[in-house]
Amino acid sequence: MIQEVLGIKPDKVNIIPHTIPLETQLAYFETSKKVKENINYDVVLNNASWLFKNDVSVEDKKWLLAQLASITKPEAYRIIENFVNSVEAGELADWAKIALIESRTVLESDLLDENQVIVSSGLGGDDYRLRYFVVFKKNNAEPFTEAQTKLVEIESQAILENNDGLLEEFNAQSHYITMLVLLPIQADLKNILIKIVNTCNEYGSFLYTKYLITNVKKLSHNEIVHFLKKLDKNESQG
């Protein structure tokens, strides 16, 4: 389970809720690390108005947002929040959202006197759940029937809800099914997905026992087809 790997408790986790490209998240946290080396709270707060000026470069605003997020003062959080909700955010919207989450985490850590962790993924999540993109494959060359598709949807929703999860999106193609799901960070992903497959296969063994799961991004049709072909190739060689 992810929680065990990280060695953290759910109440000490702040999950980035938005679907933000991983490259943006990585760039932000790299900048955040750098700005903490030499930071003057008063100077940063005095320069906060630069965020709303058109003649200030995007790179300078990125640096300033990361600086503000490192300050343990409610004033800094409010400035970032105002920027996130402003038209000036523009192309910096994702960067500013991450800064707002870091700012809240820094404030809460200071107030509660405990270290908190920010968990990021390309697909985001909510307060305590991460979002995953799941692909199930048909077990043979025949397309899914309408009854099989409906069964997968019903069983998936029931099993996810029993594990405090949510089925956000469900889409069926002729030979594969995709789902966008939310599951608690401490959830046993492998067992939950295996249970969905096994439960559905009680009605005809029509789902392939291997599946794809990622929290990086929603895959395109071509990416899914590439994965399925690779899966078939590995199976034939095995």
pLDDT, tens digit, for every residue of 105-128? Answer: 888 888 877 777 788 788 988 878
pLDDT band at 10 (very low <50, low <70, confident <90, very high): very low
CA quadruple 214, 218, 223, 224: dihedral sign: positive
Q: Look up the pTM and report it.
A: 0.76
pLDDT > 90: percent of the chain: 68
In the chain, the amino acid numbered 194 is: I
Q: What is the mean pLDDT of residues 187-193?
A: 95
User: From CA 59, how far away is CA 63, in angstroms rounded?
Assistant: 6
pLDDT of residue 238: 54
- Rounded to 5 degrees, what are φ and ψ at 30? -70, -40
pLDDT, tens digit, for every residue of 18-70? Answer: 778 889 999 999 999 999 888 899 999 999 999 999 999 999 999 999 999 99
pLDDT of residue 110: 81
Burial of 63 (0-12, 13-18, 19+ CB in 10 A): middle
pLDDT of residue 13: 73
pLDDT of residue 166: 96
pLDDT band at 8 (very low <50, low <70, confident <90, very high): low
User: From CA 103, how far away is CA 28, in angstroms rounded?
Assistant: 13
Pairing of strands 129-138, 117-119: unpaired
pLDDT of residue 9: 54
pLDDT > 70: percent of the chain: 92
How many beta carbons lie within 10 A of that of residue 67, not counting itself?
A: 24
- Tell which wins on pLDDT, 238 or 18: 18
Considering 29-38, 162-171, 227-236, the range whose residues carry the highest mean pLDDT is 162-171
Q: Which domains does the chain have, with CATH numbers?
A: 6-119 (no CATH), 129-237 (3.30.70.1290)
Please give the helix or strand (H or E) that residue 209 lies within, else none: strand 207-214
